[in-house]
A and B are shown apart, each in its own frame.
Chain A
Amino acid sequence: MRGLIAAAVFGLLPTMSLGAAPAPGFKIPVAAKKLANGLTIVVSEDHSAPTFGISTVFHVGFRLEPKGRTGFAHLFEHMMFEGTPIAPKGTLTRVIEGGGGVLNGSTRNDYTNYIASAPVSALDAILWLEADRMKHLDFSLKNLKNQQEVVKEEIRVNVKNRPYGLFFWTDLVGKAFDRWENNHDGYGSFEDLDAASLEDVEAFFGSYYGPNNAVIGIVGDVTPADVFAKAETYFGALPARATPAKAEIAEPPNGAERSLAQGDALARVPAVAVGYKVPMGIGKDYVALVVLGDVLLNGDASRLYQGLVKGRELMLQVQGGLNFPFESPWRNAGPTLLAYFGLYKPGTEVKAVVDAAQAQIDSIAASGVPPAELARVKSKMRADFYAGLELPIDRADALALAQLLMGDGNALNTIPVEIDAVTVADLKRVASKYLVVANRTVVDRKPAPAEGAKKE
């Protein structure tokens, strides 16, 4: 092993004493360039293996899909794999897997990403393929019909044929938020998915998939200068496209508690999902809420695990955090929830569960947490943050999204510093400001008789 990652770039690593959080100092190299057409490229060198990861992200997700077309942003994501006029369906997978690579894509509230990882010998071929599908698509009815069926099967697998059916996402946001942009089902209704037309596909591509609405992150055995030159070669000629004005998505916290009771024909154990609204643009409070989310919910030492799974023995399991159930609080650019979800014990009242969790929160609002506990949580957060960046494909994705959603790929280096700066007083402040009963939404999901409760 050549260990190149390390030596030159990451040599700032301080010596750490046992049990203490490492001081900030570990840096990920970041170089960015914006092409004349508005496409931004962010690069991070890592020569530890002859591979690279790439993520092409577009600034559109569930929130901005057309009204009357729930699920369209995700359906469109599938269409990006269906070929172009000169690289027909199948070419993308053939070339990337034939180059020793893997590929995928996903759609979230504020973005859609297309990721790949391969030996660096495939860099030019993959850049060409990404540029080709940013330029044009094969708008074919046959492919659209095919992917409408595939997406409906995806929804059957994850929602309609599954106990709990992602209610901790779709039903919780449906109840908690008021604006359509924030509260509709991002997976979409079958009716809306079936209604999607080729015109819709073409219009969405034209509006949101131009180079000026995208960022590409590349991490691996490359140099920024080389990647910037290749980006100019493959993407430089693509024209910028007019992007529609963004809809208003801001929402204040709620002034009265909301709740919903549901039956689930496939479930045999009751479950609950609880969310507190977190508005956008709250600056330092957001970071404090991320840390508070981890104090409450990150791992076996967390407050809700120790308090409700152990301690009161009310729940079988619990998970959550800020921006749950999505991957990370750092991949969000609008109002969201600090949420938790778990199965609770048959025979227990949901009120007992939610009250016990609220008591944990209220105690932090009133008395904070011991400084040693906060230090431990920060250590865990740092280790987890780095784990999320370990693979170049994940680091490329995080880099591209930091650039797209926060305007700066270097946020990957400042986030750990911001986390370290959070104080006990910050936790008290945000707990009492946002994690209050009036701003809480509770969805209770109980096993229901098999007849009819599950709709196709």
Chain B
Amino acid sequence: MRKTGTFAATLTLLVAPWLAASEKQPLPKELPPFGADRPLPVPQIAQSTLPNGLGIWLVKRSGFPRAAVVLAVRGAGTAADPKDAEGITELLADTLTEGTATRSSRAIAEELQAVGAELNASGGADALYVTAGGLGAGVPKVLEVMADVVRNASFPAAEVELAKGNALQGLQARESTPEFLAQKALASAIYGEHPYHIVAPTAKTLEAATAAQLKQEHARRFQPGHSLLVVVGEFDAAAVQAALTRHFGPWRGTGQAPADVPPAPATPGVRRLLVTPRAGSVQSQIVMGRTAATVTDPDYYPLLVANTICAGSFGSRLVENIREDKGYTYSPGGDLTARAKGGLLSLRAEVRTEVTAATLTEMFYELDRMGATAPSDEELSRAKRYQGGLYLLRNQIQGSVAQTLASNWVRGLPPEALGEFVSKVNAVSADQVRAAGRAYFPSSRQTVVVVGDEAPVKAELAQFGEATVVKP
């Protein structure tokens, strides 16, 4: 999930709307100008802490009678997986909601269905998230069941066996998709032994998993002092406070919390070419990337704007080039993923096999151009307003606001970070974008992964250097 936001001091709006004729192409004379911008909404976050250390952030919204609840457990994600059980977080999350001392998995599902909700747990690199969205009047019930799962998950043997079997077969299904293979190859190449290389459980982890091991991981990771609970939406604040105190108040941490994760390793200063063979492919799945700034780094906002200009929006240079001009691809893009201990900048495109080399040439060109010249005023203004508009859009989704507040907290950002997002984006200069281009975008320092039909892909890559084959 990318950035969303609200909160904070008074915000003035976005940058001045650009609508002048550009150097590229004049705009139609008849096109009406943009109107005056109106102030951004500023919701309030009511913050408190339970005596056991659990942080509580409540954001009241009126409108649809719904609410979203997110519990973030910091340090309980894949980065905490033991060496001999990489990816166990996923099985832990899948089985967390499958029973407690007093509720069966079916009872959990039905109690929540009655308030229009469903409980989900998922592991990121830095945290494990337990989430639910449903009718606003059902928030106290959601909190009751969520607290039961968090405190008393029982990992029934039959449920664990079923989940293991399904996860093993599910892993086979995922391994048949090109994007999964690409993601895995890129993460291993970039992160090496660092725990951020984990994108899924290994078959070995799943085969060896036991209920006792999941219980132990649960006890070790679920610590109230390392957790934050966020509720966003239409709810009765008094009833929610009472439910929080009653159900989460008695939560106590047991065991030794996971150790801190070291910073992600620096990217090597060379280009690497990797091929993952996939029989029967009619396309090359191209992904390239490198480690980058994380959210707390001063480079983050210039990098975000640079990515928007290069590949991160429909009007970006890469989309204009390889889709709208050349017709090589349908949905190319660029992503900036910021984890607590390191960011990842990446570019992707799926193209018919025979234009693999031609596409790589254009992708390298667009990457190198970011450091070679500063963006035009129009490009810079458009990227900033686009990011400002995305902020407004995501701000209108309860689940998105809750998730962003939680993941910001996991990454060490204060609640105010949400509301400061637009002004930080707007402060970025053309020179800073070019500096970010020089620091992070050079094609000579990207790790390039191509998943596809091995022989023709290798032939397409030959002109760029020696490619290493990485078996899936």
Contacts and interface: CB of A to CB of B under 8 A. Distances in A.
Interface string A245-287: 0000000000000000000011111000000000000000000
A7 B282 CA distance: 55
Contacts of A46: 63
A124 B378 contact: no
Nearest to A456: B282
Given A100-B14, A119-B389, A379-B113, A1 B170 contact: no
A383 B328 contact: no
A389 B382 CA distance: 28
A119 B12 CA distance: 13
A6 B62 contact: yes
A316 interface: yes
Contacts of A386: 64-66
Contacts of B260: none
B175 interface: yes
Contacts of A128: 30-32
Contacts of A35: none
B323 A121 contact: no
B281 A161 contact: yes
Contact of B34 (A49, A122, A265): A122
Interface stretch (A15-23, A204-212, A356-364, A431-439): A15-23
Contacts of B13: 119
B389 A99 contact: yes
A299 B118 contact: yes
A18 B114 CA distance: 9
A147 B323 CA distance: 9
B38 A120 contact: yes
Nearest to A120: B38
Interface string A157-183: 100111100000000000000000000
Contacts of B14: 100, 119
A157 B350 contact: yes
A222 to B, nearest CB: 11
A182 B332 CA distance: 32
B38 A119 contact: yes
Interface residues of B, number: 98
Given A50-B40, A129-B31, A376-B114, A100 B386 contact: yes
Interface stretch (A56-64, A88-96, A400-408): A88-96
B176 interface: yes
A301 to B, nearest CB: 4
B31 A300 contact: no
Interface stretch (B217-225, B312-320, B362-370): B312-320
Contacts of B6: 1
B116 A100 contact: no
Contacts of B116: 21, 379-384
Contacts of A13: 65, 234
Contacts of A310: 105-106, 162
A121 B17 contact: yes
Interface in A361-399: 375-377, 379-384, 386-387, 389-393
B36 interface: yes
Contacts of A123: 35
Interface residues of A, number: 103
A345 interface: yes
A98 B350 contact: no
A3 interface: yes
Contact of B41 (A50, A147, A156): A50
Contacts of A145: 327
Most chain A CB neighbours (cut-off 10 Å) among B140, B175, B283, B398: B283
Contact of A156 (B43, B65, B282, B382): B282
B31 A95 contact: yes
Nearest to A26: B65
A183 B314 CA distance: 33
A99 B18 CA distance: 7
Interface stretch (B131-139, B192-200, B287-295): B131-139
B3 interface: no
Interface in B296-354: 313-315, 320, 323-331, 350-352
A409 B131 CA distance: 32
Given A50-B39, A91-B27, A267-B176, A454 B282 contact: yes
A93 B41 CA distance: 26
B69 to A, nearest CB: 13
Contacts of A89: 324
B175 A268 contact: yes
A120 B34 CA distance: 9
A36 interface: no
Nearest to B451: A161
Contacts of B43: 1
Most chain B CB neighbours (cut-off 10 Å) among A146, A148, A269, A309: A269
A29 interface: no
A50 to B, nearest CB: 4
Given A1-B42, A5-B63, A100-B389, A265 B280 contact: yes
B211 interface: no
B46 interface: no
Nearest to B327: A149
Interface string B397-412: 1100000000000000
Nearest to A309: B166
Nearest to A158: B330
Given A13-B65, A161-B350, A221-B38, A301 B392 contact: no
A326 interface: no
Interface string A94-115: 1101111111000000000000
B203 interface: no
A97 B313 contact: yes
A100 B19 CA distance: 12
Contact of B328 (A26, A153, A317): A153
A122 B393 CA distance: 14
B430 interface: no
Interface string B100-131: 00000110011111111110000000000000
A51 interface: yes
Contacts of A41: none
Most chain A CB neighbours (cut-off 10 Å) among B38, B133, B165: B38
Contact of A390 (B114, B117, B398): B398
A95 B27 contact: yes
A301 B25 contact: no
Contacts of B216: none
B38 A50 contact: yes
A148 B327 CA distance: 8
Interface in A1-58: 1-3, 5-7, 10, 13, 16-22, 26, 46, 48-51
B403 to A, nearest CB: 14
B173 interface: yes
B47 interface: no
A160 B281 CA distance: 8
A145 B32 CA distance: 31
Interface in B373-390: 378, 381-382, 385-386, 388-390
Contacts of B140: 18
Contacts of B66: 383, 386-387, 390
A188 to B, nearest CB: 14
A154 interface: yes
26 contacts: A13-B234, A16-B135, A16-B137, A48-B61, A50-B40, A87-B28, A93-B314, A97-B389, A98-B17, A98-B19, A120-B38, A121-B36, A124-B32, A147-B327, A153-B283, A154-B331, A160-B283, A161-B282, A163-B177, A301-B110, A306-B109, A379-B114, A379-B115, A382-B116, A390-B397, A390-B398
Given A1-B6, A95-B27, A313-B165, 13 more contacts: A18-B141, A20-B114, A48-B62, A49-B392, A95-B19, A97-B385, A97-B389, A99-B17, A102-B314, A119-B37, A380-B116, A381-B116, A386-B64
Q: Give 5 closest A-B pairs by Cβ, nearest first.
A: A383-B116, A6-B62, A149-B327, A100-B389, A50-B38
